[in-house]
Amino acid sequence: MNWRRVKNWLGIGVIVTLSLFAVAPVLSVVVSIYAAGAAAIASLGGLATFLTAEPPDPFATSGGVGPLLAGTLYMTALGAAAGILVGFPIGIYIGEFKRDKLSHVARGAVNMLVEFPTIAMGLFVYGMFSMVRGDVNSVLAPLSRDLSSVLGGWVTWFVGPLDFYNAYIGAAALAIVMIPYVALFTASAYASIDQPLREAAYSLSGREYKAVFTVLRKVVWRAVLASFLLGTAKIAGETAPLFFTALGNHYYAPFTGPTGAVTLWIYEAAQSSYKVQVDSAYGAAAVLLTVVLALFILAKLLGRGR
């Protein structure tokens, strides 16, 4: 009996078994969420209602995640934009500039940022914000007046003096949570580039920044895009950073005040004793997963076109 062949089949068997163990639980959770969520949405008035209505109180017979979905989409989009804007260059620095001592320190710093309890990010943003709130509002108040006289009253829902709790600091907390993930993924991607390829990029491009941001980026764009998507998915599902920044809201309200999020509602409703609220939590989770899945599919389609 060829020992190498035995090892081969054993090894592959172990890998396959372990990977099933890895994938099965998470997939089963996803499946059960969809199953429970679909049933819940049906019982709460159908998908259209669910996507626009307010969350149900214990006596309600229908409800939805309307304001919560709006809050999540808004804060996730802003947070992802900021997270990518800051995390991508940091990742490049960590991955590309291996010879700098600072790059190793920065990598350590980013590794440590991943470890922080996400509730701490929210508290940090809240602390920083309470220092700047007065001054920020002194700029935003006239700005919002000027803009709304030009564009109309709806502007005050987005731009205006900020309350103690608002969607923007929620987005900031989410951005800080996302930065280390984007940075680490980007760093891995850039670090993996073959040396010959790298030398070619540097020699062909005029400026150094062109080499790094344009040419090399195209080599690893798939991995980088994956990191953006994963990071966005992650902050779409985050709860703790929003506790002390966005606070939460059960109603449609301006983004300059307390804002709701799907995850905050799930946190509240999943611990409720009332079936209608627990159901809506599962429905909300199903909606959240679907939105993220749509994002993934969209990115894939865009990628195909390239």
Partner 1 sequence: MLGLLLLLFLGFYAVSVAALIFLKFRWGMRVVGLAAVLILGSIAVMFAVYSAPALARYGLSLFTTADWDPGAERYGLLSAIVGTLISSALAIAVAMPLAVSAAVAINEFLPSQVRWVVASLLDLTAAMPTVIYGLWGRDVLGPALAAGLNALGSWLLGAEPVRTPLNLLTAGVLLAVMITPYAAAIIREGYGLIPRQIEEAIYAVGATRFEAVLIKLRYIKQYVAGGFFLALGRAMGETAAVAMVVGGNYVRLVLNPVDPGITISSLIALQFPNAANYLYMTPVLYAAALTLVLMGLVINGVALYLLYRWQV
Partner 2 sequence: MNMDRKLVAVVAVAVLAVAAVGVWLMSSPQMAPSPTATSSATQTTATASQSATSTATSHPVLSGTVTGAGATFPLPQIQRWSTLFREYTGGKVVVNYQGVGSGAGQSKFLNREIDFAGSDIPLTPQNYEKLKGLVYQFPEIAGSIVVAYNVPEIAYSKTGKYLNLTAEVIAKIYMGEVKQWCDPQIKALNPALADKLPCRDIIAVHRSDGSGTTAYFTLWLAKAYKPWGDAVGWGLTVKWPVDQTGRGVGGQGNPGVASAVEKTEYSVGYIEYAYYALNKKKYDDIGGIAYIRNDNDGKWYLPLPEMVQMGLSAGLERYRQKYGAYPKPDEDWNAVIQELANPPRGYPLSALSFFIVWKDYSAAGYPDAAAKAQLVREFMRYVLTTGQQSVVEGYIALPQELAQIGLSAVSQIKP
Which stretches of the chain bind partner 2, using CB under 8 A?
A: 57-60, 133-135, 137-139, 141-142, 156, 160-161, 163-165, 243-244, 247-251, 253-254, 256-258, 268, 270-275, 277
**Count of residues that interact with partner 1, criterion CB under 8 A:** 105
Is the distance from CB of 47 to CB of 283 less than 8 angstroms? no
Residue the block writes with tokens 């929620």? 170
- Is residue 11 a contact residue for partner 1 (CB under 8 A)? yes
- Using a CB cutoff of 8 Å and minimum separation of 24, what contacts does 146-149 make? none
Q: Which of positions 202-241 make contact with partner 1 (CB under 8 A)?
A: 207-209, 212, 220, 222-223, 226, 229-230, 233-234, 236-240
Q: Which is nearer to partner 1, 74 or 93 (CB)?
A: 93
State the Cα–Cα distance between residues 259 and 158, nearest whole angstrom: 12
Token pair, residue 231, equals: 């990071």
Could you tell which of partner 1, partner 2, none binds residue 58, using a CB distance below 5 to 8 A set by kind? Answer: partner 2
Q: Which is nearer to partner 2, 82 or 270 (CB)?
A: 270
Q: By C-alpha distance, which of 238, 263, 266 is closest to 116?
A: 238
Give min distance, CB of 157 to partner 2, in A: 9
With CB under 8 A as the contact rule, the residue among 16, 42, 298, 302 that binds partner 1 is 16
Residue 58 neighbours by CB distance under 10 Å: 10
Residue the block writes with tokens 């990191």? 227
Q: Which of positions 44-83 make contact with partner 1 (CB under 8 A)?
A: none
- Is residue 173 a contact residue for partner 1 (CB under 8 A)? no
State the Cα–Cα distance between residues 296 and 223, nearest whole angstrom: 13
